Structure 1
Amino acid sequence: MAARFSTDVPNRLDRLPWGRFHWLVVLALGVTWVLDGLEVTLVGSLAGAIKESPRLQLTETQVGMTASAYLLGAVSGALFFGWLTDRLGRKKLFTITVLVYLVATIATGFSWDFWSFAFFRFLTGAGIGGEYSAVNSAIQELIPARRRGTTDLAVNGTFWGGAALGAASSLVLLDPVVIDPELGWRLAFAVGGALSISVLFLRRFIPESPRWLMTHGRREEAERIVRDIEAWVEREKGPLPPVQGRPITIDPRTHTTLGEVARTMFRVYPQRSTLGIVLMACQAFCYNAVFFTYALVLTRFYDIPSAHIGWFMLPFAIGNLMGPLILGHFFDTIGRRIMITLTYGVAGILMAVTGFAFAQGWLSAWEQTAAWTVIFFFASAAASAAYLTVGESFPLEMRAMGIALFYAFGTLVGGVIGPTLFGALIEGGERTDIMWGYLLGATLMLIAAGTEWKLGFAAEGRSLEDVARPLSQREDA
């Protein structure tokens, strides 16, 4: 292992003006959420057609179970690939995970029964789950501190760009005039496969995280990559501003044990761990419960044909996309604590009102969609901020694993239970039962808002090393 050394790599990366390099990072790595949004929306929009497939013959409960299979895969992938990401590096893993996604999503189109469909959904989720930990950590480590919140929320929000693409695709692929719906829903999964091929190409130009390299003793490689990035930005922006702050001293390490991860989370940062669990679990329940089953609500209670579901998913997706894009800047200016509390709280209150209105039969299909569009304008920013929070909360050596653990726990508690519960409630056919599900989601969002207000911490404009000291950083730095 390399000897102890001092480095100003973090300060040099944080002082860079925004340029084409950063846009490349956002485009090549942020497309993960486009793929996830595409997957979730395709299955949501196609739920009616998949349920009616003569070969699959799924019940409402089984549709909910396949959504849970996808999320279980995401949990497993996040944990396994997150562990590898901290050991082997960001670049290797965000290539492997997109390959897993590519193969699995295409295979989904060849499903022949419930079990094969659920299995391929599980594998697709594993690829996406691995992407969350590898990509989130890489983005946060390459983006300047003053733009980290805005960028992270916008990137996470592009999930809904994929959702809009999925909704629009379903309108064509489920139109019986254009194509047989039984073939259409199968071809829909090829859309994600085609996108992921272009992702592989773009990621060839993204370097390994210099921050990860420095903690693993690869000082020369980290310095070379930073010099290359600086030269790229300088050619575009002119002379760079001077480096601010003191260098840090690093004792390199090959890996961080799971025991160290646990001690850091629950002894050094117990409040941040509690906050991460609450934010992730609450938003996961609300999102996955509502979104994975909304097509079933539209077909069951509003008699909307399966081929028309995309028209209702499209505005819903656009509202979700605009939330992080419009509100993201305020997480870097007003601050994390106020904005996260506000977005969770507003979403929770509006969800409770909408759930009651649904139970009373006051809303048409379009009015129900408009209500969800407004609610998730705020909830989308809140959910994106949850990923930002868990990424910023812990030291660099365990960042990917930290993201993976909180994503996994939040998804298990909130995401896997939600779709199955709502699938069963919808199959029961009673609006009042579904209202109680919506009220549960609203309560969880309000609990998350209160937890953020109590335990939230300031990370806006601060370097990652200042927010959470690296485990390999020495006291004499």
Structure 2
Amino acid sequence: MSKVELGRVETKVPARMDRLPWARWHWLIVIGLGTVWVLDGLEVTIVGNLTNALKDPDAGLGLSSADIGLAGAIYVTGSCLGALFFGQLTDRFGRKKLFIITLIVYIVGTVLTAFSMNPAWYFACRFLTGTGIGGEYAAINSAIDELIPAKYRGRIDITINGSYWLGAAGGALLTVPLTDPNVIDQGLGWRLAFGLGAMLGFAVLWVRRKVPESPRWLFIHGKEDQAERIVGDIEHTVEHEDKLRLEPVSDDEAIVIRQRRTIPFTTIAHTVVKLYPRRTILCLSLFAGQAFLYNAFFFTYADTLTTFFGVEQTGWYIAVFALSNFVGALVLGPLFDKVGRIPMISGTYIGSGVLLAVAGLLLADLNAFTLTAFGVATFFIASAGASSAYLTASEVFPLETRALCIAFFYSVGTAIGGIAGPLLFGRLIEAASEAGDVTGIAPGYFIGAALMTAAGVVAIFLGVKAEGQSLENIAKPLTAE
């Protein structure tokens, strides 16, 4: 036996997990793990809606529009680095340890943000908060896909990722009273907004205590007894709650695994670059397109409404926009399992790209209401497409590399679109504001539209038909015989 191997084990754990019917137990996974996107949506929307409060030199921090864009870029940079750092730890030490640690990092970061006394402190806290959120993406996406049955994986993953917009809607509505000087002192209101995000984080932390480690991760890392015990408990819970009897899994559905404690980084790099180059190109395209589209448009949407259309309370507009995103993921999500991954991914990317390009062409004739209407239509479609980027990265690579692959594609794609987007739009808004011409921000719309459309075309040729398949069939574990 190789020195790096712990032993060999035959297991039916993947087949047993995939044959489970949807049960109340699965809602624990959805609530306990899926709320990370609610937190991220809350964070981003709070910052967007607190633009005027943060710009106030007395009650706020005296930030400029460019500073707002810079803060957005710093937050995304933290997310990218956090995803890479915590992603490799997730593959090495397990899903559960890391989705607890990364949530604690988020809570600490957002609490410290509430106590910001100058721009430098604020920027540093946004970076720390971002590292927690980025780490969450890697740990949570891998755990969700490994715990949800294959039949439901697409719709659940899409909907959970889309729950980002529940947080966005909540953040938008939350900031309405907290930015109203008739309701609360403005120097206190924006600080409370960040504090309430931390309170939600503590509630999520309490729920996560009951979410188990991924049995798939356990049996690969030499802990097959613990994996069998967890799956047995899940099966017992499902049978008891739903009053049914699960059929046994046949012997031909078992797989043989060469167990290891760690997987060398060189093996992971070889997997991404050499073993699955087409999937690598696909994931990079999907992440770059959706990151630029969302971060460029949404990070500065409130600033656009305020600067060009005289909107004082942007929360109502953003709440409507955000809810349309969640409804889009909820409505279109099941089609990723029924119609298929390739037609749905390509269709949502190309469709939203075309709509955003049309909005850019018509900017001169739009007002706050019609711009929001275009945003609602575009991102109703784009929401499911953006969520499918995370779904794709999570299911098309081997289990041993899953978290780090998610982190890698999220970081690289977001660095391309998510950091450049807010910086570009911040500058475009300032330049357009000085000229008094809203069409000055149109180039950002066109770049986002082009990247989304191009990613949709890539999906047509390089997409993977993963609907209804076991993760082990889509990408054979590196340790499997």
Q: Give the TM-score taking structure 1 as reference length.
A: 0.97
1:271 has 2:278 as partner: yes
1:42 has 2:49 as partner: no
Distance 2:303 2:292 in 1: 17
Please list every run of 5 or more consecutive structure 2 residues that lacks an aligned counterpart in the other structure.
none
1:239 has 2:245 as partner: yes
Distance 2:196 2:341 in 1: 36
The partner residue of 1:349 within 354, 360, 382 is 354
Q: Is the 8 A contact 1:48 1:295 kept in 2?
A: no
1:173 has 2:178 as partner: yes
Distance 1:296 1:343 in 2: 27
Match of 2:66? 61
Match of 2:6? 2
1:106 has 2:111 as partner: yes
Q: Is the 8 A contact 1:49 1:185 kept in 2?
A: yes
Distance 1:271 1:455 in 2: 6
Q: Deviations over 1:357-412 (max 9, x none)?
A: 11x2x112011111101100011000000000000111000100000000000110
1:447 has 2:451 as partner: no
Distance 1:212 1:450 in 2: 34
Distance 2:57 2:458 in 1: 44
Distance 1:43 1:265 in 2: 35
The partner residue of 1:281 within 285, 288, 292 is 288
Match of 2:100? 95
Distance 2:294 2:66 in 1: 18
Distance 1:297 1:19 in 2: 44
Write the letter of the residue equivalent to 1:240: L
Write the letter of the residue equivalent to 1:112: M
1:378 has 2:385 as partner: no
Misfit runs of 4+, over 6 Å:
none
Secondary structure of 2:21's partner?
coil
Please list every run of 5 or more consecutive structure 1 residues that lacks an aligned counterpart in the other structure.
none
Q: Deviations over 1:132-153 (max 9, x none)?
A: 0000000000000010000000
Q: Is the 8 A contact 2:352 2:449 kept in 1?
A: yes
Secondary structure of 1:252's partner?
strand
Q: Is the 8 A contact 2:278 2:462 kept in 1?
A: yes
Secondary structure of 1:250's partner?
strand
Distance 1:387 1:301 in 2: 34
Q: Is the 8 A contact 1:53 1:182 kept in 2?
A: no
1:457 has 2:464 as partner: yes
Match of 2:416? 413
The partner residue of 1:438 within 418, 440, 445 is 445
Distance 1:316 1:47 in 2: 17
Match of 1:422? 425
1:470 has 2:477 as partner: yes
Secondary structure of 1:472's partner?
coil
Note the C-alpha offset of 1:248. 0.2
The partner residue of 1:149 within 142, 154, 158 is 154
Note the C-alpha offset of 1:52. 2.1
Distance 1:410 1:86 in 2: 20
50-59 vs 179-188, greater mean Cα deviation = 50-59
57-66 vs 425-434, greater mean Cα deviation = 425-434
The count of corresponding residues between Structure 1 and Structure 2 is 470
Secondary structure of 1:221's partner?
helix
The partner residue of 1:14 within 18, 22, 25 is 18
The share of aligned pairs that are identical, in percent, is: 51
Note the C-alpha offset of 1:53. 4.1
Match of 1:366? 369
Match of 2:30? 26
Distance 1:5 1:310 in 2: 55
Distance 1:311 1:214 in 2: 48
Distance 2:178 2:116 in 1: 17
Q: Is the 8 A contact 2:6 2:261 kept in 1?
A: no
Write the letter of the residue equivalent to 2:43: E
Secondary structure of 2:334's partner?
helix
463-472 vs 429-438, greater mean Cα deviation = 429-438
Within-5 A mapping of 1:185-224:
185-224=190-229
Secondary structure of 1:249's partner?
strand
Q: Deviations over 1:126-180 (max 9, x none)?
A: 0000000000000000000010000000100000000011001001111111101
Q: Deviations over 1:35-92 (max 9, x none)?
A: 0000011011112221224251111111100000100000111001001000000000
Q: Deviations over 1:289-315 (max 9, x none)?
A: 00000111011100111xx11011010
Secondary structure of 2:245's partner?
coil
Secondary structure of 1:457's partner?
coil
Secondary structure of 1:256's partner?
coil
25-34 vs 232-241, greater mean Cα deviation = 232-241
Note the C-alpha offset of 1:433. 2.5
1:135 has 2:140 as partner: yes
Match of 2:75? 70
Note the C-alpha offset of 1:2. 3.4
Q: Give the TM-score taking structure 2 as reference length.
A: 0.96
